Amino acid sequence: MSWYAIDAVDRAFSRTRKALFEPFNFWKWVKFAIIIFFIGGMGSNYGGSGTNYQPGPNDYGTDFPAGPGEMPDFPSDISGLGSGYIDSVSAMAIIGAIIAFFILFILIFSYISSVMEFVFIEALVRNEVHLRAYFKKFMGKGFNLLLIRLALGLVFLILFALSLLPFIPLFLSESSDFAVPALIGGMFWFFGVVLLLALLGAVIGSFISLALPVSIYRETGILSAIRIVFRNFKKSWQEVLVYWFIRLLIGIGVGLLILILFGMLILGLASVFLIIDIILYFLLSTFLSESFIWILLLPFILVEILFIFAILLLLSVPFAVFLKYHLLSFLEVWFADANIPFFDKLSAAPETGFETGPGTELRGSEQNLLGQNESGQNVSGQGVSEQSVSGQDAPESVRSGSDGSGGSASGDSKSTNNHDF
């Protein structure tokens, strides 16, 4: 018994080779690298806190009236109080603006990443990369995907917060008897909750990844595509479990290969650039001061870092393309009703979507085709036998076509043959 996820490995290798190396196109690699950069995502936590100015007793001086009728002398530093309040408000406004800017930046980047998910699928399926056209085509679907991701992130955040509620009274308690047990139990609970939410997120992410091609090529919404994939999962969940296991093994193997390859590359390039920087430093030190040397070297070092990043991004293209092709190749045979128009369609049609596993029964279209071929052969055989009988038993005038009947028989035979092909 063959599993779809295992068979998809060979097809993914073949399609990766055809897409990237047959023929090799540098600018195609660059476009794929741009897509992979945005799909890789970016997440950072930003925050800040302002300072609230609280004046002390020394801020008002000591010249208060000693008796009735005397006016106090106002402190000479009263303006410092107002300036401190203005500085505090300005700092809070700046921090708030910075936080708002980063939130807006993350949302814009996440939206581009969501659109690029569809662009990546379309580019691999068609084996053609058109960034502008594909981006414009999938702007709506990308926005819907962003909303789904934001909703899932909010749900996971609420679940994580609710999981920590039982420990809040323990940590707020002033008693020290349960401090150490509560701390140890809280750590185990924390890591257990994080692991459980990570597994749940991986499962949901896998369903979403399988649903995106279905949404594209069945021209349906993302939520509808997720429901379609889940219905097929209930029909053939064994295939999906094997697929997840194979993806885990492939992910571990690809991760180790990337770690070794990229580590050696970074070490080599960093060593070469370090030698170049040291030589430049000693050359410039003979003419310029220390500050001017670093002013000239820092942009050069920044360019070197960007160059290393670009090289690593280009080298990551085959790995990302292979992983996505494996997903698409698995989906192609696991759910044939996805109607994925690959640039190299399989010669043998896969099974229909709602099957429990790989079997030996023929599809309806294959049975009809086989029946048509068999009937065509029978008709053709009957035509040949009739012609032979006609040639043996018919009189000479009929065989020569003098009375027109032979021509009619020949015409019938030709029409029959044309119908068969």
pLDDT digits (tens, 9 = 90+) for 206-255: 999 999 999 999 999 999 999 999 999 999 899 999 999 999 999 999 99
Quote the CA–CA distance of 3 and 358 in Å, as a whole number.
7
State residue 321's pLDDT score: 95
Tokens (6 digits) for 149: 């991701």
| Mean pLDDT lowest among 22-36, 174-188, 349-363 | 349-363
Q: How many CB atoms lie within 10 A of CB 168?
A: 9
State residue 86's pLDDT score: 57
Q: Could you give the 3-state DSSP secondary structure of residue 144?
A: helix
Note the pLDDT tens digit of each residue in 267-284.
Answer: 999 999 999 989 888 888
pLDDT bucket at 56, cuts 50 / 70 / 90: very low
Query: What does the CA dihedral 220, 225, 228, 233 come to, rounded to 10 degrees?
Result: 160
State residue 170's pLDDT score: 66
Beta bridge partners of 24: 21
| Mean pLDDT lowest among 78-82, 111-115, 175-179, 249-253 | 78-82
Q: How many CB atoms lie within 10 A of CB 238?
A: 11
- 3-state helix, strand and coil shares in percent for the chain, rounded to the nearest 5: 75, 0, 20
Phi-psi sector, 399: left (phi>0), alpha (psi -120 to 50), beta = alpha
The number of residues in the chain equals 421
Kindly list the domain boundaries of the chain, sorted by start residue: 4-54+78-338, 365-391+413-421
Quote the CA–CA distance of 232 and 245 in Å, as a whole number.
18
Q: What is each CA distance from 388 to 128, 367, 419, in whole angstroms?
A: 55, 31, 21
Average pLDDT value for residue range 130-151 = 94
Among the residues of 317-404, which ranges form H helices? 317-334, 364-393, 396-400
State residue 177's pLDDT score: 55
pLDDT beyond 80 at 353? no
State residue 189's pLDDT score: 84
State residue 40's pLDDT score: 81
| Mean pLDDT lowest among 90-94, 155-159, 236-240 | 90-94
State residue 275's pLDDT score: 92
State residue 84's pLDDT score: 56
pLDDT bucket at 82, cuts 50 / 70 / 90: low
pLDDT bucket at 80, cuts 50 / 70 / 90: low
What's the mean pLDDT when you consider all of the chain?
Answer: 76
Tokens (6 digits) for 323: 């992983």
pLDDT beyond 60 at 266? yes
State residue 369's pLDDT score: 40
Which residue is associated with the tokens 């590359």? 265
Inter-helix orientation angle 139-163/179-217, to 10° = 160
Q: Under a CB-based contact definition with an 8 Å cutoff, are residues 99 and 47 in contact?
A: yes
State residue 89's pLDDT score: 61
